[in-house]
Amino acid sequence: AGIGRTTLHKHYATRDDLLRAVGHRVVDLWEQAVAEITGIDAADGGLRAVAEAMIPIGPQLAFLWRTPAFDHDQDMEARWRAVEEGTLAILKRARDQGVIAAAVPDWWLLSTFYSIIYVAAESVGSGLLAPLDAPRLALSTFLHGIGPALEQP
């Protein structure tokens, strides 16, 4: 980060304080991403827009999703749940528009979407996937899987 330990401790007394600050910053980014899409009226329910917004912050989201220290932070949990509901609302809108199968449970929608966002972000970060190609590949995988196209009889 380019700062010394002493300077860091002036701002954050403990490791938990630092983790909490970073976690809240990630939720801020996630909230901004979802808020920008909420008003979009797209044929795909806003799926492309949310993928485009979340993939660039994927490494930060991965930190949030994988840090056990946030499991017992009530303020963080409340913010996390609220932004998760916003993300789910976008996925449900796509489901309501027939883009996603109606029988897919909410928890599966979120888990699958988060997984694909994570892999897309990691692939961009490692140079395997171009940033501009990531949303298209992520959505194609999310909506159609990776199997061969079914032949029509």
For residue 57, pLDDT beyond 90: yes
Which residue in 78, 70, 68 sits closest to 20, CA to CA? 70
pLDDT tens string 6-56: 776 677 778 888 888 889 999 999 999 888 886 666 778 888 999 999 999
Is residue 83 helix, strand or coil? Answer: helix
Supply the pTM of this predicted model: 0.83
CA distance 82 to 94: 19
Q: What are the pLDDT digits (tens) for 58-98?
A: 999 998 888 888 888 888 889 989 999 999 999 998 999 89
Position 67: which residue type?
T
| Cα–Cα distance measured from residue 38 to residue 24, given in angstroms and rounded to the nearest whole number | 21
- Given a cut of 70, whether residue 153 has pLDDT beyond it is no
| 1 vs 127, higher pLDDT | 127
pLDDT higher than 80, residue 128:
yes
Q: Which tokens is 136 given?
A: 């298209």
